[in-house]
Amino acid sequence: MRMRKSTVPMRLALPLLALAAAPGLAAPAPRAGTFDTVFAATGEPAFLHAQILYASDGAIHRLELWRDHDRRIKRVTDAALATYATRKAGEVGYTLKVLDLKRRISTVIDRTNLYRIGQFTDWYDLGHGLRHPKGPYRLVAARTAPAGMPRIGRACRWYDLIEGARTTHICWDDTVKLPLLIAPASGPPVWRVTAVDQRTIPSATFVPDDRGFIKNDANRDIEAD
């Protein structure tokens, strides 16, 4: 699955993480199941903070991710784009606020309106780095890391996600509920977690400061069309 960027009336980049993985320490290979059972968010830590490198359009980008239970997510990409997602516990819908830190533009949009413009971004995508397969697929558990993958100092479980002729290697850390490294079968990794912790995150981290920004209400613009 590919990373992609979402666009709304202004250019909103939501680098949604590709499926592929790379190695951590060896862990017993479980029986493969469905995407939702293998990569389930159930039991995820209350708080998570991760630093990630990912590849897109021939360039390497830096992503910093914060999760607060299943209610708040913050993502900062290349120190240029800050994305804040909030929802009530257990709800499917959410509100997204995106701050373009260079152009000083603040855009707000709800999940419903993202779907209206063809940007099918779910809460799980934002907080866990994986997008659900769109068509038929198979998940195959592996006992060892694929050849040539870099080492990561955490245990993870390896899976091959097979979609037609395409295979993606995924190293899943079931403790923090995050892929540690992602790689296509025929290329280098496209996603790598370089640091992760589960310490309590101050509430202010998830409050966007858009004072002095141009305000863009994408909900109003879309619903007026």
Per-residue pLDDT for 128 more than 50?
Answer: yes
Domain boundaries, the chain: 35-224
Domain 35-224 has CATH 2.50.20: yes
Predicted local confidence at residue 225, as pLDDT: 64
Among residues 76, 110, 94, 78, the alpha carbon closest in space to that of 209 is found at: 76
Q: Is 90 left (phi over 0), alpha (psi -120 to 50) or beta?
A: left
Least confident of 33-37, 49-53, 64-68, 118-122: 118-122
Most confident of 18-27, 59-68, 185-194: 59-68
In percent, the amount of the chain with pLDDT more than 90 equals 68
Q: Average of pLDDT values for 24-30? A: 47
Question: Confidence class of residue 66 from pLDDT cuts 50, 70 and 90?
Answer: very high
Mean of per-residue pLDDT scores for the chain: 86
- Among 11, 7, 3, 5, smallest CA distance to 102 is for 11
- Band (pLDDT 50/70/90 cuts) for residue 1 is very low
Tell which residue, 1, 26, 216, has the closest CA to residue 109: 216
Confidence of residue 31 (pLDDT cuts 50, 70, 90): low
Judged against a pLDDT cut of 80, whether residue 30 lies above it is answered with no
Least confident of 115-124, 176-185, 212-221: 115-124
Structure token digits, residue 194? 């370089």
pLDDT(4) > 80: no
pLDDT at position 150 is 86
Residue 193 has pLDDT above 70, yes or no: yes
Q: What's the rounded Cα separation, in Å, for the pair 6 and 81?
A: 12
Give the pLDDT score at 71. 96
What average pLDDT does the segment 92-102 reach? 96
Is the pLDDT at 43 greater than 70? The verdict is yes
How sure is the predictor about 10, in pLDDT bands with cuts at 50, 70 and 90? very low
Q: What's the whole-number mean pLDDT along residues 132-148?
A: 90
Q: Please give the C-alpha separations between residue 55 and each of 43, 88, 186, in angstroms, as whole numbers.
A: 29, 32, 15
